[in-house]
Amino acid sequence: MTERKRGYIDVDALQEELAEQGDVVERIAGFYGVETGQLHTTANETRMACQFACGKTEATGDRAISLKTRGDATLWRCFHYGCTVRGNVLTLMHWMKHDRPPAGDRLQGREFKEMAEDLKALVRGEPRTTKAESHNEPTSTKDTADKSAFNIPLKDSENERARSLVNLDEKFVTDVAEMSPQAASYVRSRPYMTPEIMQKFRCGYLPQDAGSLLRGHFVYGWADQHGDILTWFGRNLNYETQHRKWRRAGDSSKEPNKFKFVKGFHRGLVLYGENVFRSEANAEQVRDMGVIVVEGPNDVINLNALGVPAVAVCSNTVTEKQADKLAALACEFSNGTVSVMFDLDRQGENGAGQTVLKLAQRCCVRYAWTTSLSDGRFSDRQPESVTPEEWEKLIYTALTA
């Protein structure tokens, strides 16, 4: 039996009590002042529209989400096609309060504590404390959980094998004619991915016979701010096929990963492309546009090809450490503004919202683009697909207006 810590909240008992009190959805919505639209409640189920993930892009039917209480547990999920939002009472509360999912698969750490305190107040009929609102950052992912975590450049590693990988890019293929069909099609569909820019960003196709964990991947080097490689990471060239298969199968199996990272690398501590940004960006340009932060390496590379300096978080959310680094970069290169340019899809927009909040605590921040720009022309787009004309005539103009 574990010892109960001071301040321990018996969440199971509270959930049970809430279910007994009834009107679970109405009461959570009332607690946070959120409109739910019409609820359809029968003896054992409540159905409602999804105003969460899928409801952001289009209104869902008013029965998309099903919430059921069985025994002492209340569970819910959205049945709208493609929406994977689901959880328990605490997750529902988190969505209603913050309008975004918890940081991990389940609530942990500070997020858990915050929602547990809200649940206690709700069950006891107390108003919610305002204190919790300042805690609305997702808890640390693995990257930041370990306060002592850091990344060592491969060249300084104690591990001989790691040191031997410093020049892995000597094995990269940058000529599409010599790539596997999948790699060639990956590169051909990205016109900015020229041999010259591959060399600059130290990325390319690593052939199957390269004798590395990343063989058969399109591999990127992640350098520190000085340009020393911290790690190599690979783009899974079967991702699109695997992901389609995964979606068809429902959400029971594990979602395939787009990128393969080496164990022990803490990507939440660094910004991708910072070295190139530092060597190429000039203060006047950055003052104009702010420090542009994007999701992925290809976004950085395409923008660089357009003459636009940018860095990536390699995620669709930002960690505390990355937010600190972005704010520092913004102060160093401009008047302290970061421009968030995440993908204009559902997940990107959710992540951008969270990122803006986190950066606003540190520096000036704005959206570099939104779905409403140019009558929705950029809806569902990623920075890696922006053409020179689009950048010049539409995005840059709006950004610096």
By CB under 5 A, name the binding residues for Zn ion.
Answer: 50, 54, 78, 80, 83, 85
Q: Side chain identity at 104, as an amino acid letter?
A: G
> How far apart are CB 60 and Zn ion at their closest, in Å?
6
Contacts of 342 (CB under 8 A, 6+ apart): 294, 295, 316, 348, 349, 351, 352, 355
Residue for token pair 């607690």: 31
To 5 degrees, how large is the angle CA 217–CA 218–CA 220? 120
| Between 54 and 116, CB nearer to Zn ion | 54
> How far apart are CB 77 and Zn ion at their closest, in Å?
9
How far apart, in Å, are the Cα atoms of 373 and each of 8, 252, 270, 292, 395?
48, 36, 30, 17, 8
- In this structure, what token pair is assigned to residue 138? 């997702």
Q: What are phi and psi of 322, to 5 degrees?
A: -65, -40
Q: What are phi and psi of 213, to 5 degrees?
A: -60, -25
> How far apart are CB 34 and Zn ion at their closest, in Å?
15
| Between 93 and 300, CB nearer to Zn ion | 93
| Between 85 and 289, CB nearer to Zn ion | 85
- In this structure, what token pair is assigned to residue 266? 């803490």
> How far apart are CB 101 and Zn ion at their closest, in Å?
11
> How far apart are CB 243 and Zn ion at their closest, in Å?
19
| Between 81 and 189, CB nearer to Zn ion | 81
Q: Coil, strand or helix: which one is 131?
A: helix
| Between 60 and 322, CB nearer to Zn ion | 60
Q: How far apart are CA 50 and CA 64, in angstroms?
A: 6
| Between 78 and 323, CB nearer to Zn ion | 78
> How far apart are CB 327 and Zn ion at their closest, in Å?
33
